[in-house]
Chains A and B, each alone.
Chain A
């Protein structure tokens, strides 16, 4: 008797659970509405501390296992104390985390074993915008470049397809590439 073992791939992503959730949520789309929250408190100078814990999803309040906090500040070249990453670096952090999670999930689904994944991000910015020197210069990034170095049991084309699919399904990639209405109010 011969047994052909199903290729076992362990990237640490529970694809069966994700596919189950997709199936369940397509039948109960109201449960798919999530609200993500963050609370930020000013500390001193340009230093602030943001925390995340609760969020809403699957029809009820949910909570992270623990509260996560993030210090943000500006570096000394901006005459600040550099108590944390800059907010724009946090944006790069969000994009990197989203795309990398996507690569792992898609790889698991496609039965591709990953050995290492490294993303290097660069966002270019002309700070004449935020300093109000030149009104023609935008405040934000003029471009973002992401470079992946991936070691995996796959062809170059398969790895490129992982990265492309990860962008296609990425929330942060969508947030950065498409306009979003942002409303800010004061209590």
Chain B
């Protein structure tokens, strides 16, 4: 089978690209291993809601039209939203078609699936940035009496054994799970490394509204100082709870979560925590306050200040004077550990030499270091918002333009 372009993955990124290719009348097929929005449907915990408000999921040719623009979608609503989008744009999706191999061939790429062989002149990788949960090497040393779960395996507190839970990692996933599990009655210890503190609401508005309005989310990959760093920044400590509450470390301390430093080792059933917790909290407070300064400055310059609540600063993160440096896991009642230590994409099927020494794809703003190959949906791909549903549109518009000129060059070269 042949298509000019194959898009791998029918999530928000692949669908946004499909829409942009259709607008350019570029023949393409979207290959999807499961159903549309498969990861949202099958790899998320039950209570998860999007971390961006409903109005912010603006896709090419499609916007939210419901009556709750400031709410946060449940996973079922997110799946329905993306399925409606796929229908609205008549995306040529082949479901239940899992890509097993992508190889370079003379005309472009040979793509093998469980449903037949494809040839295409260009390929768009939109298979997601969070396919595999990272497990630190030290997880191997966890005593066998303690249950070990990744966020992809976690569904709800009911599946956890009675007793305490160590949540490792305090980015978006870790803080949400710590909050839910502590509230369900399991005492939670949260191991905190580098993290990005963020208030859900500021001066009466959602923090995403501020970052969108002030242009922070539109900052481009080719105009910031340290792109490597920007692509590695941990996810924001946010949750999409209906009551709009924040899930920063102070909020977690208030409901009884015990904060400890980054998990630095596991020896003889004892967890060892870094002594750097106070500095991690200080770094994060300083960073948050710089963002709020930027926001206040923008609001004043844009003349928005008067219509909004006055600026405020939040209480510094409360860290106990001497946080524990070790914990006998079994003896202290810990019965399960959840590794909220980040995710990575799965490119085990990609047999094209485009990887750097860390196994990441080499690309320039999504233009992969292999002619006719493109990447979507990665952190800070082309803009700060690239990994958001709301970020797929601008990236797809620009990358589809690049892709079209690539096809034209190839045609001219062949003529």
Contact = CB atoms under 8 A, between A and B. Distances in A.
* Interaction A to B: yes
Interface of A: 26, 29, 142-143, 157, 160-161, 164-165, 167-168, 173-174, 176-179
User: Interface extent on B, as a size class?
Assistant: 10 to 19
Interface in B256-291: 261-262, 264-265, 267, 272, 274-276, 279, 282-283, 286, 289-290
Given A177-B274, A179-B264, A168 B286 contact: no
Contact of B275 (A29, A160, A176): A176
Nearest to B283: A164
Nearest to A161: B286
B322 interface: yes
B287 to A, nearest CB: 8
B282 A160 contact: yes
B262, B279, B282, B283: which has the most chain A beta carbons within 10 Å?
Answer: B279
A173 B282 CA distance: 15
Nearest to B228: A26
Nearest to B265: A179
B261, B286, B289: which has the most chain A beta carbons within 10 Å?
Answer: B286
Given A164-B279, A164-B283, A177-B274, A29 B322 contact: no
B286 A160 contact: yes
Name B's interface SS: mixed
B357 interface: yes
A177 B278 CA distance: 11
25 contacts: A29-B357, A142-B322, A157-B286, A157-B289, A157-B290, A160-B282, A160-B286, A161-B283, A161-B290, A164-B282, A167-B279, A173-B276, A173-B279, A177-B261, A177-B274, A177-B275, A177-B276, A178-B262, A178-B264, A178-B265, A178-B272, A178-B274, A178-B275, A178-B276, A179-B272
A135 to B, nearest CB: 16
Contacts of B357: 29
Contacts of B282: 160, 164
A21 to B, nearest CB: 15
Given A176-B275, A177-B276, A164 B322 contact: no
A143 B275 CA distance: 9
Contact of B276 (A29, A142, A161, A167): A167
B322 A143 contact: yes
Interface of B: 228, 261-262, 264-265, 267, 272, 274-276, 279, 282-283, 286, 289-290, 322, 357
Nearest to A160: B286
A109 B349 CA distance: 42
The 4 closest A-B pairs by CB, nearest first: A177-B275, A178-B264, A167-B279, A177-B276
A178 B262 CA distance: 9
Contacts of A177: 261, 264, 274-276
A168 B264 contact: no
Contacts of B283: 161, 164-165, 168
A142, A174, A177: which has the most chain B beta carbons within 10 Å?
Answer: A177
A44 to B, nearest CB: 35
A3 B262 CA distance: 49
A157 B290 CA distance: 9
B356 to A, nearest CB: 10
A179 B141 CA distance: 15
Given A161-B283, A178-B276, 16 more contacts: A26-B228, A143-B322, A157-B289, A161-B286, A161-B290, A164-B279, A164-B283, A165-B283, A168-B279, A174-B276, A177-B261, A177-B274, A178-B262, A178-B274, A179-B265, A179-B272
A110 B272 CA distance: 34
A180 to B, nearest CB: 9
B284 to A, nearest CB: 9
A51 B160 CA distance: 55
B196 to A, nearest CB: 14
Nearest to A176: B275
A52 B262 CA distance: 33
Contacts of A143: 322
A166 B5 CA distance: 48
Contacts of A157: 286, 289-290
Nearest to A181: B265
A87 to B, nearest CB: 19
A143 B264 CA distance: 18
Nearest to B272: A179
A168 B287 CA distance: 13
B366 to A, nearest CB: 21
A168 B229 CA distance: 14
